[in-house]
Amino acid sequence: MDVRTVHTSELTVDELRAIRSLLDDAFEGDFADEDFEHALGGMHALVRDAGGDLLAHGSVVMRRVVHQGRALRTGYVEAVAVRADARRRGLGGRVMARLEQVIGRAYVLGALSASQDGAALYLGRGWQVWGGRIGALSPQGPVPLPEEEGSTYVWAPPGGVRLDPAGRLDFDWRDGDVL
């Protein structure tokens, strides 16, 4: 099974529907319209079976993260999911490998927010839980996001930025869940 990498603008309406259906099933109905919106506008990694059915998906979109006074061009990983009957076959790892290639070539930092179920995948690939403070740059100014601490992961590609692990990461604002 090959991993296809494609920009949102190149996906057909049917492909977008298939991605949304996969995400709705994988997240057991806990995938809001805002969550889907967050996954669009960047690069998608898609894995299909021999019949063309979608088995796995993930995307990476650009976000700005302020750290120590610098706005870092960050590849933010979204909507990683594997169809229930295709799990434990390495498809999530293949999706992440492709997304990490995109991050390594286009961004100075990778970031994501992981559920407890997904954490092992990211830790096993060298992503690290961010130990410092997490915040967002809201329309009303900077706000702390203590509920995101412990579930936000970062990955610095070779040649990427060096972070102060005691520092704060402030993510750009967006509707729905900020992270």
Q: Cβ(178)–Cβ(137) under 8 Å?
A: no
Task: Give residue-wise pLDDT tens across range 32-41.
Answer: 999 999 999 9
Averaged pLDDT score across all residues of the chain: 95
pLDDT: which is higher, 134 or 29: 134
Contact between residue 143 and residue 150 where contact means Cβ atoms under 8 Å apart: no
pTM, entire model: 0.95
115 backbone dihedrals φ, ψ, rounded to 5°? -80, 170
- Per-residue pLDDT for 1 more than 90? no
Decide if 166 is inside a domain.
yes
Q: β-pairing, 43-48 with 3-7? A: antiparallel
Q: Is residue 78 part of a domain?
A: yes
CA distances from 169 to 49, 67, 106, 145 (A): 38, 5, 19, 10
pLDDT digits (tens, 9 = 90+) for 80-113: 999 999 999 999 999 999 999 999 999 999 999 9
Q: Tokens 């933010």 correspond to what residue?
A: 76
- Is 25 inside a domain boundary? yes
Domain hosting residue 139, numbered range: 3-172
Alpha-helical runs (H) found in 27-125:
33-38, 91-106, 119-124
Distance (Å, rounded) from C-alpha 163 to C-alpha 145?
19
According to the model, what pLDDT value does residue 148 have? 94
177 within domain boundaries = no
Q: Give the number of domains in the chain.
A: 1
CA pair distance 57, 22, nearest whole angstrom: 8
71 lies in some domain:
yes
- The answer to whether position 123 is within a domain reads yes
Q: Looking at residue 29, what is its pLDDT?
A: 86
Q: DSSP label at 132?
A: S
Pairing of strands 141-144, 133-138: antiparallel
The reply to whether 179 falls in a domain is no
Separation of CA 115 from chain center: 12
Q: Is 14 among the domain residues?
A: yes
C-alpha triplet 67, 72, 75: angle, nearest 5°: 120
- The pLDDT of residue 111 is 98
CATH code, domain carrying 23: 3.40.630.30
